[in-house]
């Protein structure tokens, strides 16, 4: 693809806003019976593919006693070369999965000669439903057209992305709703917000944006976070007299909704207005004696008898629920409030699991707040703009300890939560100020607290590797490795081990060991502390392995080249000179330490050990604080070389202006990987010949 260096955060914002106002939008028929091919503007001739059209229309209509949302997505993609054909050999269908009914799906390919081929869609069922089309017979300059219509329970909050790795020639967004409603809209990264207009007795927002440029992906960045997007949210309803019906929808109303969903003994859905949060309203229910008895029995069964500390109870409840109750998304809306049914069947939906946690915390007097946040790699919560839609990830906050827990993450254990939640803001439900905000009784209103979810410190995720290189007299190396993973690294590997069949473990280990040149060079391996339960979850995950590594040693005349840098494995690098467009984002702070110990054969001499000494650091321009560094050093004795390496990333976000210094730290590890040392065998001392003494011949003895 032709390199595009337009930076959407500066001049592009103004140019798109201006063109959106000046250009008259072209007209695209809903589904042309005789489709025609679209011309490619000259500036896009070197692209692999372009979007001719990206259109989304959402209509909110009064339907009976509630509101129904009707949506239409229309997309036309033109593939321009073989790479574009491969990129779009499978096309996902854009539609909202939750609680929607698809009224119609149309898809077709239009070939350059005018041939039209209609396509059938396929559906995948799993943790989430996916619709997609598999396309065969695409040709250069062919077009793919898809239209989806669906009916759904209304989601009065939304977030839509309009940019991708290919240019979009024509982008349309339309929102239609009754005049009794009022919406707020906000565009990000240059997308215009639009405004409400009264049209024929209803309100409307129409936005047209021409020529949205492609945004290329770059390493060390959360790509989706920086795409052009539009967010909208219902502000309030009005009555026919013009009065606001109820409170404006803000963070306090979201907190109150959380409280009603997860704590109340009797659910009231009067504030739903058709399902503001996009959930099917649960049936009214009263928590029965059966629920209370089931909770009491469950707490007893996991060993809680009242004598535990608060932190012990948190860990025991988490362990008890996550090891005994299986979470199934398919159970959404069924028995979510019936805790006795959940505990009897040992299965629950996401919301059912959370209700169980809340009931257990409440029963044991644990101070806590339940909140919601968004996936930090996709969306950063904007406290100044009310939008509930992206806030789909639940998290508990424990004010006594200033720690968090993720109730729906089977492979996370307190106080670790998924890295996608940290360093983002969340909305937490705080109630009962007279009881130190500990949820302990019914209230009619909850208070929202918008809080930044703190990231763990840099030492929490610490990866250490001990490498022992043993050289025999012929300089054939055998390497013993000892890995110790903690924090997020340990969690990721434990999760993979838990989900992987045992016969696939060796293959996993081969991928973890960077020094391994060929699979058959793995001699042995073993794991320790691999379980997720509370006994092992906070201990380092250990991997020990022995490997052959003949590639580490080469010979140059009378000298040996020891590629000692390769012992740490191939490292990521940022040597490409492409203009940096996106800021740097890291998943979490981390510390990596490595120790390489190599024996030196008798009589050998290391000639260039000084090359193992490196130091590169990144410092903030404003205050000169060190935020990342790479350091390597060594000690050399008569028969042993010990190399120590430390690589630390303390900060999670770097603006584009800091990229050049950041990449020096990343590249330092890649540079170390290329280091080789020269070893020369000393010349053997000459063997001295023993002197042979000449003995005079004895004179003959005369006989008498």
Give the Å distances, CA to CA, from 27 to 39, 94, 109, 226. Answer: 15, 21, 20, 29
Give the Å distances, CA to CA, from 500 to 187, 409, 507, 530. Answer: 42, 18, 10, 12
CATH number, domain of 654, equals: 2.60.120.1130
Between 32-36, 508-512, 589-593, the lowest mean confidence (pLDDT) is in 32-36
Token pair, residue 197, equals 């207009």
Token pair, residue 427, equals 């909305």
Q: How confident is the model at residue 535 (pLDDT cuts 50, 70, 90)?
A: low
C-beta of residue 639 within 8 angstroms of C-beta of residue 471: no
Per-residue DSSP letters for 92-158? E-----TTEEEEEEEEEEE-TTS-EEE--EEEE-SSS-EEEEE--S--TT-EEEEEEEEEES--SEE
Same domain membership, residue 187 and residue 292: no
Instruction: Please give the pLDDT value at position 318.
Output: 96
Higher pLDDT, 89 or 408: 408
Determine the structural domain holding residue 540 and report its residue range: 462-681
- Looking at 178, 201, 235, the residue that finishes a domain is 235
Higher pLDDT, 558 or 630: 630
pLDDT(474) > 60: yes
Name, of 66-70, 98-102, 588-592, the range with top average pLDDT.
588-592
End-to-end CA distance of the chain: 119
pLDDT(231) > 70: yes
Q: For the chain, give the longest Cα–Cα distance.
A: 163
298-346 pLDDT per residue, tens: 999 999 998 999 999 999 999 999 999 999 876 666 566 689 989 999 9
Higher pLDDT, 381 or 556: 381
Residue 244 lies in a domain: no
CATH number, domain of 294, equals: 3.10.620.30
Residue 2 lies in a domain: no
CATH number, domain of 110, equals: 2.60.40.3140
- Looking at 427, 452, 477, the residue that finishes a domain is 452
Residue 693 lies in a domain: no
Same domain membership, residue 314 and residue 185: no
Same domain membership, residue 262 and residue 208: no
Chain mean pLDDT for the chain: 86
pLDDT(574) > 60: yes
Residue 6 lies in a domain: no
Residue 632: exposure state from Cβ atoms within 10 A (0-12, 13-18, ≥19): buried
Same domain membership, residue 289 and residue 222: no
629-661 pLDDT per residue, tens: 999 999 998 789 999 999 999 999 999 999 999
Residue 702 lies in a domain: no
Same domain membership, residue 297 and residue 202: no
pLDDT(124) > 80: no
Q: How confident is the model at residue 691 (pLDDT cuts 50, 70, 90)?
A: low
Instruction: Please give the pLDDT value at position 568.
Output: 94
Between 461-465, 512-516, 643-647, 685-689, the lowest mean confidence (pLDDT) is in 685-689
pLDDT(241) > 90: no
Rounded mean pLDDT, 274-287 = 39
Residue 246 lies in a domain: no
Q: How confident is the model at residue 684 (pLDDT cuts 50, 70, 90)?
A: low
134-149 pLDDT per residue, tens: 777 789 999 999 999 9
pLDDT(350) > 80: yes
Domain count, the chain: 3
Instruction: Please give the pLDDT value at position 129.
Output: 54
pLDDT(564) > 80: yes
C-beta of residue 346 within 8 angstroms of C-beta of residue 145: no
156-184 pLDDT per residue, tens: 999 999 999 999 999 999 999 999 999 99
Residue 657 lies in a domain: yes
Alpha-carbon gap, residue 429 to 427, rounded angstroms: 7
Instruction: Please give the pLDDT value at position 375.
Output: 97
Residue 1 lies in a domain: no
Give the Å distances, CA to CA, from 417 to 329, 405, 557. Answer: 20, 6, 55
- Residue 123 φ/ψ, nearest 5 degrees: -125, 135
Between 226-230, 387-391, 530-534, 631-635, the lowest mean confidence (pLDDT) is in 530-534
Alpha-carbon gap, residue 461 to 591, rounded angstroms: 6
Beta carbons within 8 Å of 654's beta carbon, 6+ residues apart: 583, 584, 618, 627, 662
Same domain membership, residue 297 and residue 163: no
C-beta of residue 346 within 8 angstroms of C-beta of residue 320: no
Same domain membership, residue 636 and residue 496: yes
Same domain membership, residue 402 and residue 470: no
Alpha-carbon gap, residue 396 to 391, rounded angstroms: 14
pTM: 0.86
Same domain membership, residue 626 and residue 478: yes
Beta strands in 1-114 (DSSP E): 49-63, 66-79, 90-92, 100-110
Q: How confident is the model at residue 447 (pLDDT cuts 50, 70, 90)?
A: confident
29-51 pLDDT per residue, tens: 899 989 999 999 999 999 999 99
Produce one character per residue of 284-303: b if its CB has 16 or more CB atoms within 10 Å, e if not: eeebeeebeebbeebbeebe
Same domain membership, residue 340 and residue 419: yes
Same domain membership, residue 85 and residue 217: yes
Same domain membership, residue 167 and residue 39: yes
Q: How confident is the model at residue 12 (pLDDT cuts 50, 70, 90)?
A: very low
HSE toward the beta carbon, residue 647, CA cutoff 13 A: 21
Instruction: Please give the pLDDT value at position 10.
Output: 42
481-497 pLDDT per residue, tens: 999 999 999 999 999 99
Rounded mean pLDDT, 231-249 = 77
- Looking at 452, 475, 499, the residue that finishes a domain is 452
Torsion angle of alpha carbons 487, 488, 493, 494, nearest 10°? 60
C-beta of residue 449 within 8 angstroms of C-beta of residue 418: no
Between 102-111, 112-121, 594-603, 676-685, the lowest mean confidence (pLDDT) is in 676-685
């Amino acid at each position: 693809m032709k390199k595009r260096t337009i930076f959407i955060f500066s001049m592009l914002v103004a140019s798109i806003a201006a063109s959106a106002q000046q250009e008259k939008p072209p007209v695209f028929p809903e589904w042309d019976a005789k489709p025609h091919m679209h011309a490619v503007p000259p500036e896009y001739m070197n692209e692999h593919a372009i979007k001719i059209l990206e259109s989304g229309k959402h209509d909110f209509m009064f339907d009976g006693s509630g509101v129904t949302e009707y949506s239409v997505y229309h997309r036309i993609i033109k593939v321009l070369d073989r790479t574009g054909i491969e990129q779009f050999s499978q096309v996902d269908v854009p539609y909202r999965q939750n609680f929607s009914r698809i009224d119609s799906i149309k898809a077709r390919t239009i070939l350059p000669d005018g041939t039209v081929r209609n396509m059938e869609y396929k559906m995948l069922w799993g943790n989430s439903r996916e619709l997609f089309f598999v396309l065969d017979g695409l040709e250069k300059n062919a077009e793919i057209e898809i239209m989806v219509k669906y009916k759904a329970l209304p989601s009065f909050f939304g977030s839509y992305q309009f940019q991708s790795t290919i240019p979009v020639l024509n982008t349309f967004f339309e929102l239609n709703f009754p005049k009794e409603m009022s919406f707020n809209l906000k565009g990000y990264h240059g997308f215009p917000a639009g405004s409400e207009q009264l049209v024929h007795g209803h309100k409307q927002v129409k936005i047209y944006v021409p020529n949205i440029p492609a945004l290329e992906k770059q390493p060390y960045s959360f790509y989706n976070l920086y795409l052009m997007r539009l967010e909208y949210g219902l502000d309030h309803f009005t009555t026919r007299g013009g009065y606001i019906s109820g409170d404006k929808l803000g963070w306090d109303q979201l907190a109150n909704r959380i409280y009603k969903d997860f704590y109340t003994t009797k659910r009231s859905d009067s504030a739903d207005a058709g399902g503001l949060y996009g959930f099917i309203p649960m049936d009214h229910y009263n928590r029965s004696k059966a629920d209370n008895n089931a909770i009491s029995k469950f707490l007893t069964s996991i060993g809680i008898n009242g004598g535990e500390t608060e932190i012990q109870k948190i860990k025991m409840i988490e362990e008890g629920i996550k090891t005994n109750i299986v979470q199934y998304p398919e159970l959404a809306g069924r028995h979510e409030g019936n805790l006795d049914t959940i505990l009897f069947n040992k299965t629950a939906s996401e919301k059912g699991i959370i209700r169980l946690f809340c009931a257990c915390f409440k029963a044991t007097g644990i101070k806590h707040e339940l909140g919601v946040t968004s996936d930090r790699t996709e969306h950063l919560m904007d406290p100044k703009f009310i939008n509930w839609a992206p806030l789909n990830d639940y998290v508990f906050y424990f004010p006594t300890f200033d720690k968090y827990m993720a109730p729906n993450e089977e492979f996370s254990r307190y106080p670790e939560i998924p890295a996608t939640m940290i360093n983002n803001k969340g909305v937490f439900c705080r109630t009962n100020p007279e009881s130190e905000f500990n949820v302990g009784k019914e209230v009619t209103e909850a208070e929202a607290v918008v809080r930044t979810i703190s990231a763990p410190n840099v030492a929490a995720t610490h990866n250490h590797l001990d490498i022992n290189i043993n050289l025999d007299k012929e300089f054939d190396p055998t390497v013993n490795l000892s890995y110790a993973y903690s924090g997020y690294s340990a969690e990721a590997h434990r999760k993979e081990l838990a989900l992987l069949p045992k016969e696939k473990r060796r293959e996993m280990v081969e991928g973890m060991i960077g020094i391994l040149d060929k699979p058959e060079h793995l001699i042995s391996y073993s794991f320790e502390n691999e379980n997720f339960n509370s006994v092992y979850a906070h201990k380092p995950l250990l991997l020990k392995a022995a490997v052959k590594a003949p590639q580490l040693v080469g010979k140059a005349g009378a000298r040996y080249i020891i590629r000692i840098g390769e012992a740490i494995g191939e490292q990521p690098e940022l040597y490409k000179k492409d203009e940096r467009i996106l800021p740097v984002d890291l998943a979490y702070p981390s510390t990596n330490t490595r120790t390489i110990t190599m024996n030196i054969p008798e009589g050998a001499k290391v000639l260039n050990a000084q090359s193992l000494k490196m130091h590169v650091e990144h410092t903030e321009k404003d205050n000169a604080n060190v935020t990342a560094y790479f350091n390597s050093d060594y000690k050399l004795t008569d028969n042993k070389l010990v190399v120590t390496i430390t690589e630390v990333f303390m900060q999670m976000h770097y603006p584009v202006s800091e990229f050049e210094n950041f990449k020096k730290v990343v590249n330092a590890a890649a540079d170390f990987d290329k280091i080789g040392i020269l070893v020369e065998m000393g010349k053997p001392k000459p063997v001295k010949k023993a002197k042979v003494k000449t003995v005079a011949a004895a004179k003959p003895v005369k006989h008498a």
